Structure 1
Amino acid sequence: MIVSEAWQLYKADKQIQGYSSQTLKAYSVQLSLLINFFGDVNITDFTTESIKLYLGKVATELKASSLCHRIRFIKSLFKWALDENYVTTNPVASIKEPKLDSRIPKFLTEEEIELLREACDTTFEKALFEFMYSTGCRIGEVVSLDRHSINFSEQSVIVFGKGKKEREVYFNTRCSIWLKRYLEERKDDQQALFVTIRAPHRMSIAQMRYVIKQISLRAGINKCIHPHQLRHSYATTLINNGAPLEVIQNLLGHEKSETTRVYAYLSGQLRRELYKKFF
């Protein structure tokens, strides 16, 4: 079986397992790179040595995180091929990912949050900004929400995170007010929670990113602002207010506690207070 044929079956299996379209799109790029290097060869033609030579060649051109992503895809593909008996041995079983440096997430200060808040011109922008900041949702989770999903009485909503895992998130009163105003102003019959202004339809991730970018430009903040920083800022606010890491992990929908623990480095104020208390 050639690699492109194996990919079609692999992709179908992952779709059944609930992999997101974004993940599979990213994996398809990795597949193209693999085929460009080796050709569309039989999947049994790969060896540990040939894959190491491939990874060694691209390692000098990639960041460690990008190399990790490439290795994860290849590992996933060949693990699947082994499980499905398309290969008799896994040529990448012994290949390890490079060690990544710990990166502290980029977050926004309280002043920057207020500047962004003031820079929101429309009810829609205010509702979107407050929702993203007060829920800490991933942008992909926000674009998929429907208006009927919002539980205003509990100020909560069920979102579907990575791997379509369900979790409940909450929003504050400020967000609730702007969401209600935004939905009351809407004249369309679209089910999506957030829609485009012209010819209303569900917003895409790219369109939502563009809106946040425009707000940040009007705010005059001299840094590159992207929606995920609102998620980081949400987590930072929680930890600085004393929320336990396991609670933050649950609210963010992190599968591994290590992913959440990085926010502990951001809690300078809390750490200073604990130092004064215990030392």
Structure 2
Amino acid sequence: MTWTQALKDYISYLKIERGLSDNSINSYVLDVNKLIKYLDSNAIQTNAIVIDTTTIKQFIYEAAKNLNARSQSRLISGLKGFFNYLVFEDYRQDNPVDTIDSPKIGRKLPDTLSENEINNLIQAIDLSHPQGERNRAIIEVLYSCGLRVSELTNLKISDLFFEEGFIKVTGKGDKQRFVPILEDTQKYITIYKTHIRNHLTIHPDHNDILFLNRRGKQLTRAMIFTIIKGLAKQIDLNKNISPHTFRHSFATHLLENGADLRAIQLMLGHESITTTEIYTHVDKTQLTNVINNFHPRR
């Protein structure tokens, strides 16, 4: 089996059987492509079925020179998943990555913004600019609903259920959930729709997409990053922020204000409560207050 065929089959498995998004699939495939490129550049003749642990160890050793511990761990995990698939499909008898240890890394706590920092970012938006109202609505939705960037760019007008106070979000693996939306956020979306979006010449394929660029097409993930980076620069925010920072801030601020972890899990669309529990590590002061206020031995 050639590397090309193995990757093609693996992509089909990730898409059809695991239901992963294109972004997640690209991440998995990137790790395998790095290995293939290494083999080609070093004229190593082998394929996915017969490659051994020694060869992969040498690749990881070379790659590690330009990677931090977390990236090394991600690379090993990606390769392990690929070869696990080959074992699962009986293409191989063993996984050559099983005996390779990942570097020890601490659990990375998510970066967050304070309420003041979020307010300052929103206030920096130039509402006289043609895209100003749209950008304000985007930031408000990211922060008040805790969406992933792909969930935001794919949000449809038909997903808005303002009378019920919810929006329908399509997350990883096309799994759908309903997330509450605040009245103020509804107001900003309505202003954008009425005064900006309604005056665009909308591409026929994007009639139902909520947030559009000035050419009437769906916004890209990269454009959302650009908008946020630009606002951070305007207010001299000394933090490396991204759309995901607002999602982290959404969860952290809810937890700090006493929200139930299970409710946060449902709103974020996490399959496992373990994923959501990372936010309990962000503000240890809040946890101390809970013990002091509610434990019977306080």
Task: Call closer, same or farther: CA 1:248–1:96 in 2, change over 3 Å.
Answer: farther
Counterpart of 1:201 in structure 2 is: 217
**Residue identity matched to 1:36:** K
List aligned pairs for 1:93-112, cutoff 5 A: 93-112=98-117
Are the equivalent residues in 2 in contact too, given 1:119–1:215 (CA < 8 A)? yes
Q: Which amino acid aligns with 1:12?
A: S
Q: Is the 8 A contact 2:52 2:96 kept in 1?
A: yes
Say whether residues 1:232 and 2:233 are aligned partners. no
Q: CA deviation at 1:268?
A: 4.4
Q: Which residue of structure 1 lines up, in the alignment, with residue 21 of structure 2? A: 20
Structure 2 counterpart of 1:252: 268
Aligned to 1:35: 36
1:181 alignment counterpart: 191
Q: Residues 128-166 of structure 1, C-alpha deviation per residue, up to 9 Å, x if partnerless?
A: 111110000010111111111111112212212222222
Structure 1 residues 191-214: Cα deviation after superposition (integer angstroms, max 9, x where no partner): 2110002x1100000011111222
Aligned to 1:65: 70
Q: Give the whole-Å Cα distance in 2 for the aligned partners of 1:47 and 1:267.
A: 45
* Equivalent AA in structure 2 for residue 224 of structure 1: N
Partner Cα distance (1:41, 1:144) in 2: 41
Distance 1:115 1:13, change over 3 A: same
Q: How does 1:130-169 map to 2 (within 5 A)?
A: 130-169=140-179
What one-letter code is carried by the residue in structure 2 that aligns with 1:30? Answer: D
Distance 2:267 2:97 in 1: 35
Q: Secondary structure at the match of 1:24?
A: helix
Task: Give the AA of the match of 1:173.
Answer: E
**For residue 210 of structure 1, what is the aligned residue in structure 2?**
226
Query: Is the CA contact 2:32–2:82 (under 8 Å) kept in the aligned structure 1?
Result: no
Q: Measure, in 2, the Cα distance between the counterparts of 1:85 and 1:67.
A: 27
**Distance in 2 of aligned mates of 1:212 and 1:154:** 30
The code of the aligned residue for 2:62 comes to K
Match of 1:44, SS state, is coil
Q: Secondary structure at the match of 2:177?
A: strand
Normalization by structure 2: what TM-score?
Answer: 0.86
Q: Distance in 2 between matches of 1:158 and 1:94?
A: 43
Task: Write the deviation string for residues 205-237 of structure 1: whole angstroms up to 9, x where unpaired.
Answer: 001111122222233323233211111110111
- AA partner of residue 35 (structure 2): L
Cα deviation code 1:72-125 (max 9, x no counterpart): 221121111122222232222343433321222110112111111211222112
Q: Which runs of 5+ in 2 are unaligned?
A: 127-131
User: Contact between 1:2 and 1:41, CA under 8 Å: does it hold in 2?
Assistant: no
- Tell me by how many angstroms 1:274 deviates: 2.3
CA distance in 2, matches of 1:252, 1:98: 29
- Counterpart residue number, 2:129: none
1:259-278 equivalent positions in 2, closer than 5 A: 259-277=275-293, 278=295
| Structure 1 unpaired stretches of 5+ | none
Query: Per the alignment, do residues 171 and 50 of structure 1 end up closer, same or farther by CA in structure 2, a change over 3 Å counting?
Result: same
Deviation at 1:35, TM superposition (A): 1.0
Does the 8 Å contact 1:249/1:257 carry over to 2?
yes
Q: Distance in 2 between matches of 1:16 and 1:141?
A: 20
Say which is worse superposed, 155-164 or 39-48, in terms of deviation: 39-48
Contact 1:104–1:265 (CA<8 Å) still a contact in 2? yes
Residues of 1 paired with 2:30 and 2:224: CA distance? Answer: 23
Q: Secondary structure at 2:167's aligned position in 1?
A: strand
